[in-house]
A and B are shown apart, each in its own frame.
Chain A
Amino acid sequence: MELFDALTLARLQFAFTVSFHIVFPAFTIGLASYLAVLEGLWLATGRAVFLAVFNYWKKIFALTFGMGVVSGITMSYQFGTNWSVFADKTGPVVGPLMGYEVLTAFFLEAGFLGVMLFGMQRVGRGLHFFATLMVAAGTLISAFWILSANSWMQTPAGHAVNAVGQFTAADWWAVIFNPSFPYRLVHMVLAAYLTTAFAVGAVGAFHLLRDGGNEGARIMFSMAMWMAALVAPVQVLAGDMHGLNTLAHQPAKIAAMEGHFETRSGQPLVLLGWPDMAAATTRYAIEVPRLGSLILTHDWNGEVRGLKSWQRQDWPNAPLLFFSFRLMVGMGMLMLLTGAWSLWSRWRQRLYDGRWLLRLGVLMGPSGFVAVLAGWITTEAGRQPYTVYGLLRTAQSVSPIDAQAVAGSLVAFIVVYFTVFGAGLLYIVRLMAHTPRVDEPDIDAGLPLRAAGITPALELAAQDGASGRGD
């Protein structure tokens, strides 16, 4: 069966495993910050409902974080197993960036996660809040380094090449703050916040549809809609700037995203169509004349390059980019709309009982995940046919491996990921279906009971436990 060669299989494996993986950090980056805000509000106001909502989402965070860790370890080893030539050549540049991610972020998250999940009764409120802040900081620092590494592969800078063909860092500052990094970082962190906001908002809306008076659900929905209303417009702006940065550094990617094959001044904006790479034209195109040039060059008559100005061997997959980009933008527009609608409802003091808005809120629950995946497919598939843009071809990055070895491991990954993460998704949805309570228990359910002052029998049992500890 020579249906797929080792290169194609290795690419499929990377695409599959990284797509599963990105879903978890996209959620945990946002959720960690959300938890820190909730705990901070609880400490500042003393309102028990903030602690209840904190405990509600902490359980979901624990599940998601666990899945993010185990799916992430796979990624850090896959560079060596399937992409050994890439690892050898780029290790001196990409390796230290990932090394810093481990040292500054992974240990920070892992070191304080135990205390955040299980330590409320052991360390007191102040230290516990500090642990939550450290976990949140860890997720953001992690995003910083991994996006720097990814951006360097997209827009390499600050490097040289040594005698054995390895990339080396000539200027670390230029490597880390490579041209696309600031845009990608802002775009991704905002995406993580929006993803979380819409997931939290959907859970709030779902429970409000059943009980409009549920205080926890009100807090979830209200906070989520503030985030949607304020951050979605900022994200559109950030996305636009990221796109202009891509036009400057990876114009072929933009051409594929836009379905432009011809180089023209006054490019149309193709709304929909079918980019046909064989025929080098976008079929059935529905276009707005000149708008493409206006958006990309801020000039009605600006010249925008089409794919035909590059050799075919350097083209990315145009239909894939064209549709994944539209899917992401579509989700962004729906988020913008939801946010605006929530402002209107809030102003009319109908945020919690406008049933159509609540229904839309439920439907928008997965929108962030869809947008994140579509956006990453656009930018990563758009980097092809290179791993390091313009410098190292994907075909020259792969390990000297047999197709059978990659096929075998790919099948194993697919089976395991669908089983394990399918089960995880089920448990998360189940936790989300459970109605938020004002006295939402901690993960560590044995202890809060005791702290709340309880029956003598339990008190006695607790003392027994304590005296047993001494010997």
Chain B
Amino acid sequence: MPDLAFTWAGLIAFAVLAYVLFDGFDLGIGILFPFLDTDEARDLAMNSVAPVWDGNETWLVLGGGGLMAAFPVAYAIVLTALYAPLTAMLLALIFRGVAFEFRWRAARKRPWDWAFAGGSMVATFAQGVALGALVAGIAVSDRAYVGGWWDWLTPFSLLTGVALLAGYALLGATWLVMKTHPALQHQAYRFAFVTGLGTFALVGVVSLWTPLMNPQYMARWFAWPAILYTAPVPLLVAGCAGVLFEGLARRREATPFMAALALFVLCYIGLGISFYPYIVPTSVTIWSAAAPESSLRFLLVGAGILMPLILAYTAWSYWVFRGKTDPASGYH
């Protein structure tokens, strides 16, 4: 019999990764928004994600809902521990989500431009801080969070917040490179270069700092012979950097976006290497948090049938809006 708890940990990890990749580029567009120099450029940037942002954010609901179903005690502990950053994220997502519609209905666009940009930045930063706080570890006793209300706020979590801002901005910039015409594309190449440098530098610092946070992470990454399996991750990250910057230099359209996505996948694998077998680092394991078998099995049947369907029609809706975003279509 396959291990249900492990399967579910994999599925939720997949949902969160899908969220980060999908919503990452549309949050990134929000982060870059104030730096776009014309109204037309902002319209076009927003229209390039308007048909898909809602689907992208659905992965966040699946991540949260899936966690509650499959690992209820982990959901309970993590959400209480990260109360402030998650509340900030939810409020920020409200501002940026409604901006997609409100911007075209308001007498003046500007306030909702700022709602979109500010919401995207705060949501991203809060997600980064939440990630950093999770890496730093969460105090648990008797199935409940026992830390303080400001435990999430550390120099490390602020750093991961900034790193995620740079990373999502890179995703957004390379998305715009792929989806827009020369006028905006030219600017997007510049953004991608700058945010690319920032992202790789910050990923480097976070990666070196993480093992120092916890002896378990240190052992996982550097003990012999584990290092044989972990060493390829940083090497591949370096390879990604090469592909990204070469793609930008040669004015490739899709390569930079693919390289940025690959970078996120690698960082995510890196996190997985550090966290495993914990779902709440470093106090609750996947198996001790798992819901009863009847719950895992019941939802797994549906996930097994529906996930391929969801991926298929999501791919179809991206296909419908393929190619360069047309300045004449979308909202007006």
Contact = CB atoms under 8 A, between A and B. Distances in A.
A11 to B, nearest CB: 17
Contact of B86 (A70, A81, A461): A81
A462 B329 CA distance: 11
A108 to B, nearest CB: 8
B133 interface: no
Contacts of A98: 65, 68-69
Contacts of B91: 412-413, 416
B149 interface: yes
A72 B58 CA distance: 11
B80 interface: yes
A461 B326 CA distance: 12
B225 interface: no
A18 B71 CA distance: 24
B18 to A, nearest CB: 11
Contacts of A74: 90, 94
B98 A95 contact: no
A114 B54 contact: yes
A387 to B, nearest CB: 14
A121 B329 contact: yes
Contact of B327 (A109, A431, A465): A465
B102 A427 contact: yes
Contacts of A431: 105
Interface string A220-237: 000000000000000000
Give the size range of B's interface with the partner. Answer: 35 or more
Contacts of B145: 84, 400
Given A73-B61, A77-B79, A447-B328, A112 B313 contact: yes
B93 interface: yes
Give the size range of A's interface with the partner. Answer: 35 or more
Interface stretch (A85-93, A203-211, A265-273): A85-93
Contacts of A79: 68, 75, 79
Contacts of A334: none
Where chain A touches its partner, the secondary structure class is helix
Contacts of B250: none
B295 to A, nearest CB: 4
Contacts of B181: 468
B217 to A, nearest CB: 25
A447 B317 CA distance: 19
Nearest to A88: B76
A447 B50 CA distance: 16
A415 to B, nearest CB: 9
Interface string A131-151: 000000000000000000000
A169 interface: yes
A107 B305 CA distance: 14
Interface in A167-192: 168-170, 172
A20 to B, nearest CB: 10
Interface stretch (A41-49, A362-370, A401-409): A401-409
A416 B89 CA distance: 13
Choose among A73, A74, A84, A401 the residue with the greatest number of B CB atoms under 10 Å from its CB.
Answer: A84
Where chain B touches its partner, the secondary structure class is helix
A443 B331 contact: yes
A100 to B, nearest CB: 6
Contacts of B320: 114-115, 119, 122-123
Contact of A169 (B70, B298, B328): B298
A73 to B, nearest CB: 6
A146 B55 CA distance: 19
B227 interface: no
Contact of B306 (A80, A104, A112, A461): A104
Interface string B106-145: 1000000000000000000000000000000000000111
A95 B149 contact: no
Interface string B60-96: 1110111011111101111110011011001101110
Contacts of B228: none
A349 interface: no
Contact of A166 (B95, B97, B292, B321): B292
18 contacts: A63-B105, A65-B54, A66-B97, A66-B101, A76-B65, A77-B64, A77-B86, A87-B68, A91-B76, A92-B291, A99-B68, A113-B54, A115-B320, A166-B72, A166-B291, A424-B98, A430-B105, A447-B329
Interface of A: 62-63, 65-67, 69-74, 76-77, 79-81, 84-85, 87-96, 98-104, 106-115, 117-119, 121-123, 162, 164, 166, 168-170, 172, 399-402, 404-405, 409, 412-413, 416, 420, 423-424, 427, 430-431, 443-447, 450, 461-462, 465, 468-469
Q: Which 5 A-B pairs have the closest CB atoms?
A: A91-B72, A80-B79, A95-B69, A114-B51, A84-B76
